[in-house]
Chain A
């Protein structure tokens, strides 16, 4: 199933991406609607992060193209913001929360100019939105995993973009942070922004997302969550692993276990 939309936020056309001659993504073709919360899901190695990085122009494409808001990335870079995986950087780096969030403004600055007071105000505002206002001058090495993830989110917000691409923002974060992120992306959606995120947890998927994209090297399904989040598509994406997951999910429902440790 592949539902197409008019005037998409993201259009991926016939995309193939390979690493060392081994294809990671094969002939992916899809459109994502503007103003939606989009989840990219699939088993490990399905190419979820690869798809996101390709949208952000970080990987060479073997074939196909990607348009954002109907244009190549270079023309709309100012409208797009990327949240990398938290583990992708060294958190021992000498920087404060404010230093990192200010980086979100760098794209708006000229070659030689430094962040101005208005940039600092925006950064402080974004730090407040993720609930870290008391830690603005704290060194990032001293933060918890969830707080680090919120710093990345604040940095992305500081870009004032229209499209947010987030690589597993919920990976390894505490329940408070997850709730804070969910509130934040819903607020973005209300402002008409588009959020696309790589997500792992099947349990919460149907609650979080309006649009779901199932991937397993090829595109399995792309469409409104209620149409995509059905056993036949999930089965196709996750294969044999899903039966185990389904049984676990059933057990958890019956036993009323929390999905994670509180």
Chain B
């Protein structure tokens, strides 16, 4: 495997592991669609941050996207609780409106900003090696996207490691968690904040649309294989890495989009795990 291929697979794997770890919590809380919403609606935040700071990575982007991500969560809850809109409709209204705003901004400002519509929506892992992080004295530290995702992974591992019990309990039984005095709302927003972070860290590589495939498919695959939560986290991460490798091989063979191929592989792995689970239960029953 040459250096380019390695860099692409490394970035893909980091993105997939981030999405898989976070997604494991989200699917168990029934919030996969909220993650979908956030992954789309951070678009105007990304564009605005880019417009004001000219940065395609780093602090301003994170702040802009994080703010819009939070706004999405608040908007969904406001529509559901106060305006009595059904929860799925509340998600639908909020994220399509914000996403559309992002699309309008990207297209309207197409001449002024170096932000490609296709790249934002679909990402392009193959270009990742073309954007290396160069230090002041000219050292090439490897693709910038790998550093962003790596940083994001560290944040995720620290938060999950420190607050595992809170995230676990509020996911399983929020009413009981509240009865123990846990601030269930805070943990909800912590997860939503992480979702914004992961989305921003991933969008350059896999795009706003496919990031949700990586948040849902690997955890759902792991859930087919185990009912132990720690094992599920580990398996989901492993499936994420497998998805990145498989996606690269498929994309190279077909000369297709790497992100697209990864999502296809993620879906195929889920079907395989589901079928294996069925087969295993059938064997146990026989």
Q: B-contacting residues of A (Cβ < 8 Å)? A: 53, 56-58, 74, 77, 80-82, 84, 88-90, 92-96, 99-100, 103, 106-107, 109, 111-112, 114-115, 139, 141, 155, 159
Contact = CB atoms under 8 A, between A and B. Distances in A.
A175 B169 CA distance: 30
B256 interface: no
Contact of A100 (B166, B172, B178, B223): B172
Contacts of A139: 227-228
A56 B180 CA distance: 9
Contacts, number: 73
A58 B180 contact: no
Interface in B171-215: 171-173, 175-182
Contacts of A93: 28, 171-172
A126 to B, nearest CB: 15
A84 B176 contact: yes
A90 B223 CA distance: 14
Contacts of B228: 94, 96, 139
B204 to A, nearest CB: 32
A159 B176 CA distance: 12
A77 B173 contact: no
Contacts of A95: 168, 172, 227, 229
B37 interface: no
Contact of A58 (B166, B168, B178, B223): B178
Given A93-B28, A94-B226, A114-B165, A106 B172 contact: no
29 contacts: A56-B178, A58-B179, A80-B179, A81-B179, A82-B175, A82-B176, A82-B179, A84-B176, A89-B172, A92-B227, A93-B28, A93-B172, A94-B28, A94-B223, A94-B226, A94-B227, A94-B229, A94-B232, A95-B168, A95-B172, A103-B169, A103-B173, A106-B165, A106-B166, A106-B169, A106-B177, A106-B180, A107-B182, A114-B165
B173 A88 contact: yes
Contact of B229 (A57, A74, A84, A99): A99
Q: How large is the interface on B (under 10, 10 to 19, 20 to 34, 35 or more residues)?
A: 20 to 34
B173 A109 contact: no
Contacts of B28: 90, 93-94
Given A56-B178, A58-B175, A155-B176, 8 more contacts: A77-B180, A82-B176, A89-B172, A95-B227, A103-B173, A106-B169, A106-B182, A139-B227
Nearest to B24: A94
A103 B181 contact: no
Contact of B181 (A77, A89, A94): A77
B176 A141 contact: no
A166 to B, nearest CB: 12
Contacts of A89: 172-173
B162 interface: yes
A58 B184 CA distance: 11
A112 B162 CA distance: 6
For the complex of A and B, 4 pairs with smallest distance between CB atoms: A107-B180, A82-B179, A139-B227, A94-B229
B180 A84 contact: no
Given A94-B232, A106-B165, A57 B179 contact: yes
